[in-house]
Amino acid sequence: MELPGFAVAVWMFVCFHASVVGYPNGRVREACTSMVPCHGSSPQLSPEHTITVNGTEFKPGDNIEVHLSGPDFEGFFIQARDAEHLDSPAVGSFVLADRRRSQLLTCGRTKNSAVSHTSKAKKKDIKVYWIAPEDAPKRVQFLATVVKKYRIFWVKIPGPIVSQPDVLSPTPPLHATSEPMSTSHPASYISKPFSASGCGITKFCIRNPTNCDPGSASCFFLSFQQEGSSVFIEMSGPSEGYLAFAFSQDQWMGGDDAYLCVNVDHRIHVSTAHLKERSHPLLDGENALEDVSWRLADGVLQCSFRRGIHLPAYKERFNLDTSYYIFLADGEASEGGLIYKHHRQPLVTNGPYNVTGLPQDIGGSRAPRLIKAHGTLMFFAWITTVSIGVIVARFFKPVWNHSFLFGKELWFQVHRMLMLTTVLLTSISFVLPFVYRGGWSQQAGFHPYLGCAVMALTIFQPLMAGFRPSRHAPRRQLFNWFHWSTGTTARILAVVTMFLGMDLPALDLPDPWDTYAMIGFVAWHVGTDVLLEIHSYCLVRKVEVIEDDRVQILQSLTSAEAEGRLFKQIVLAIYVCGNVVFLVAFLIAINQV
């Protein structure tokens, strides 16, 4: 295809004057509009490669196989556009046939609207599937840019034009071939996204995030609507592998009644299964489901079906007039339909529900309440009480040395109260995962091991403090070093353990903000510590050094420290407020999972 002279001139100007380079990894979003690679040379005029499809007509929701083939090539870029306006944005979305050699790109506002290479390894052909959108134009043409070598490439190679029914298609252009399109029966397709209307009124719904729109690309949706002696079920969510839900007697996987919608060669296969402990689901040989429909478009998988409330002929199927915990999971699937373990914790309802009872509109949580409580208590203990207690003991002895509470210096009583609170919170929090898991977790990595070390040091620290020598005893200096080193080690291990725990599947706080928040807290604490250390050093420099009179030196030092009372109290107040901000941010984040 010959490019207009002006377009070529503009292209040459951009390539030579903009800081654009080749993309061997295929992430060429910059070329979404022009489809022109900036490789510093002009495109070839006579294409060597062809685009073929397996059909000439389509309806919204249909998938069409698109095949690019020809002599060896390194890179490619495929889009579908309105055949009447080839300069318009990409139309529809693609599904991959080979994830090793091709990848999906988002051009403009349409997700997965283009396909490109993953590396510059040589290839002879590429196969992908195009999914027709609801608002597709009457005629759609496929275009491809192919890179044979860095400086040898073709731009917008024209492919075949496919049309919606009752539209007169033009004569297919050169290089376009077609054959009868293989599609499922029309009844098997869902024409549009599910609707949340009726949730809590006529049907039982589960949505995550809470109250999200099923038409959104980030919404997980599951609904149950009783119709006589059967229940009509709808499930959708962002996935190109599989979606699954299960009824369970408890909040643990095992002995559950499961239902899977799996992407098998770009068609959704709906089946029932039985979950035996924490293992791969056992698919049933017989399917008790009726009126099965599905849709796969814009990265969202949808399926719907009907099943009877009672199915006595199927022993593994639960009766739906009883209350159950409900699980909702998503994950990846191979091209042959083999499903892989979900990469994150399934969504689980907060209690057992009867889906044929009173209609409700509820959410769920991917983090069990006991695990949330575990994280909250640990965060409160090691981000708030410990940190403030250490600051008080380190810098407020001279400030609060003449103030007493219950017969002891104020600083000491505040320090002891905060540290005992830490011991109490840590002890309670330490038990919760064992209660939830019913034992030791083999899937939590180093987190439980470090947690046990932190718990041991937390118990050892107050026990050691109970044997503290008197102030002027010979062993007091040794005690001080042991007390400081044990506490510091515990705090470092606690922060590392929290870093590891935030990304575990049972909690999985929003990433990367959880990491940024923890880094921010560490910087906040270290910054406050350094500020107070500098302040103390400046006060010490004001003291006149009298080498022969130790008592006067100590008295002068104490007096100098007292001069900084107001400054330290202001810093402490700001520090406490900052810690409260971190705590509130953590509580908000943990409430979102």
- Dump pLDDT digits (tens) for 458-515: 999 999 988 888 878 888 889 989 999 999 999 999 999 998 888 777 776 776 777 8
Question: Can you give the pLDDT at residue 573?
Answer: 92
pLDDT surpasses 50 at 103: yes
Cβ contacts of 337 within 8 Å, gap of 6 or more: 262, 263, 264, 265, 269
Q: How far apart are the first and last CA of the chain?
A: 52
Helix (H) or strand (E) holding 560: helix 550-563
Alpha helices in 396-507, H assignment, sequence order: 410-437, 447-465, 476-501
Tell if the pTM clears 0.75, that is, is over it: no
DSSP secondary structure letters along 362-393: E--BSS-HHHHHHHHHHHIIIIIIHHHHHHHH
Q: Enter the DSSP assignment of 30.
A: G
For the segment 429-474, what is each residue's pLDDT rounded down to a tens digit?
A: 999 999 887 888 877 888 999 999 999 999 999 999 888 888 788 8
Residue 129 to residue 131: CA distance in whole angstroms: 7
Q: How many CB atoms lie within 10 A of CB 199?
A: 21
CA–CA distance, 558 with 543 (Å, rounded to integer): 10
Domains, the chain, with CATH or none: 29-163 (2.60.40.4060), 188-365 (2.60.40), 369-592 (no CATH)
Task: Answer yes or no: are the C-beta atoms of 386 and 414 closer than 8 Å.
Answer: no
Q: What is the dihedral of CA 348, 351, 352, 356, to 10 degrees?
A: -90
Q: pLDDT (tens digit, 9 = 90+) per residue, 166-212? A: 654 443 333 333 333 333 333 367 888 899 999 999 999 999 888 89
Residue-averaged pLDDT of the chain: 82
Helix (H) or strand (E) holding 208: strand 204-208
User: Is residue 128 a contact partner of residue 34, using CB atoms and an 8 Å limit?
Assistant: no
Distance CA 98, CA 104 (A): 11
Instruction: Write down the H helix ranges in 122-274.
Output: none
CB 263 within 8 A of CB 296: yes
Q: Which two tokens stand for residue 563?
A: 């001069």
Position 336 scores a pLDDT of 64
For the CA atoms of 346, 262, 218, 61, the dihedral, rounded to the nearest 10 degrees, stands at: -160
pLDDT at position 207 is: 94
> Any idea which of 25-34, 371-380, 539-548 has the lowest mean pLDDT?
539-548
Cα three-residue angle 142-144-146, rounded to 5 degrees: 165
Three-state secondary-structure class, residue 569 = helix
Query: Element (H or E) spanning 116, and its range?
Result: strand 110-117
Query: Rounded to whole angstroms, how far apart are CA atoms 208 and 363?
Result: 6
